[in-house]
Amino acid sequence: MTDATDRGRFVWHELLTPDPDAAKAFYTRVLDWREQPWALDPEYSLLATSRGPIGAVATVDGAPYWLAYIAVPDVDEAVQQAVELGATILTDPTDTPSAGRYAVLKDPQGARFGLYASGRSEDTELPSQDRPGKGEFSWHELATTDYRAAFDFYSALFGWERMDEFDMGEMGIYFIFGREGAMLGGMFNKPPDMPGEPNWLGYVRVADVDQTARKVTEAGGRVITEPMEVPGGDWIVQCLDPQGGAFAAQLFQEDVKRTVSKPKQRPSQPAATPEPVQTAAEKAAPTRKKSVKKKPAQAARKAAAKTATKKAAAKKTSAKKKTPAKKAPAKKVSAKKKVSAKKKVSAKKKAPAKKKTAARKAPAKKTPARKTPTTKARAKKAPAKKASGRKAPAKKATRKKTASRASTRRTTQATKAQAAKTSRRSGKTARSSGKKTAKARRPASQRARKSQGRAR
């Protein structure tokens, strides 16, 4: 018999359908179950995995449905307690030869469920559902009208515990229950547009929800909820068999990392369609970037080379043109100085020239008046210093400028020497002519006196 340690565990699942043969062909193809006949009743076919039977298929008139059985130590006592809590009996406690005892009830909200106490035979000994294997039922979900009232009922009957709950927005709260610290399933209030009465939906653990969904369609079933990720990282898909029986498949998060066909691609198929394009774009992106970088670089180098050639030629031409241009100001300056020397040669008029020179060359502390042209030449040399970073053209231009500066200095010095000689000569001439003029302007009496004095 089932002991207290099995209380509240989902231990058996029975499909009641109007076409058992078609149902067995469908599920053995989709979920990789195998059909196993039961020696005590040939019409009652067992469904098994590699670890043993997990359920059975039976004939029923009307719409098909899955019925989940929950373990209790004593079926009769559990039935009595359930009725007191508001449940309705659909099948009284019944013995199964060499299998155990069972009963079928409806909870206060109208969902069907079964009670089961095992006889511990080899055909009914099941692996622990607290950690289900592949092909075994792994989750149980109750869609009801009042999940809190439903939980109070099942908690009192089976000792289930509240584990967690999630807010699904418009769908309301998803309430998770379990036993002995292990999650068993969830409950929620079904929306008004959801057809049918309250019911339990069983989830089977699979290796690939995408592949399961494809098998359902190929075998004549229908996918009612596409593969989707749920809180916790698991993936689910909800389906209908060809006769209309509802079931679901679940992919554990730990299996997502190991599976070859990743289910994440299924819910995002619209985005996954252009994925090769994105991959190609990502591969092409570095190439485009390189090509964009190379072309401007080559163009820049060619442009720089052309610019350097043009600048070199322009410097040679400008150097040739600048040489006579620098001499011209020197001549003008000397001409001006000649005019000023003829008029008045004085130190007072040279003082403004010092001031101008000092204003143009502020960093210089003392600048002789004679070196004014040199200062101007140095001031004009500033652009050549900026361009000194360039190679041969800058050096040639510097040599020519130095030569022109030296020639300008010599011309200026010669001009000054000539002006000085001219001023000295003009001074002597002026003094001698002044004496003669003074003598001529003296009165005749004075001249007569001087001549008499000389005669004496």
* Residue pointed to by tokens 């969830």: 186
Radius of gyration of the chain (CA): 58
CA atoms within 13 A on the CB side of 423: 16
| 3-state helix, strand and coil shares in percent for the chain, rounded to the nearest 5 | 50, 25, 25
Cβ 302 vs Cβ 263: under 8 Å: no
* Alpha helices, DSSP H, located in 251-274: 253-256, 269-272
Cβ 266 vs Cβ 273: under 8 Å: no
Q: State which amino acid sits at residue 358.
A: A
**Tokens for 106?**
């409806």
Angle, in degrees to the nearest 10, between helices 75-84 and 147-158: 150
Cβ 76 vs Cβ 59: under 8 Å: no
CA–CA distance, 300 with 42 (Å, rounded to integer): 89
CA–CA distance, 282 with 265 (Å, rounded to integer): 19
* Residue pointed to by tokens 């008499």: 452
Q: What is the chain's length?
A: 456
**118: nearest Cα among 275, 218, 10, 38:** 10
CA–CA distance, 115 with 72 (Å, rounded to integer): 7
Q: What domains lie within the chain, and their CATH numbers?
A: 4-205 (3.10.180.10), 331-456 (no CATH)
Question: What's the pLDDT at 427?
Answer: 59
**32: nearest Cα among 136, 162, 185, 103:** 136
Count the neighbouring beta carbons within 10 Å of the beta carbon of residue 250.
Answer: 21
Q: State which amino acid sits at residue 173.
A: I
How do the pLDDT tens digits run along the chain, 456 residues long?
455 678 999 999 999 999 999 999 999 999 989 999 888 887 889 999 989 999 999 999 999 999 999 999 999 999 999 999 999 999 999 998 778 999 999 999 999 999 999 875 544 454 455 578 999 999 999 999 999 999 999 999 999 999 999 999 988 999 999 999 999 999 999 998 888 899 999 999 999 999 999 999 999 999 999 999 998 899 999 999 999 999 999 999 988 865 544 444 443 333 333 333 333 333 333 333 333 333 444 444 444 444 544 444 444 444 444 444 444 444 444 434 443 444 443 434 444 444 443 334 444 444 444 444 444 444 344 444 444 444 444 444 455 556 666 667 777 777 777 766 666 665 555 555 555 544 545 555 555 555 555 544
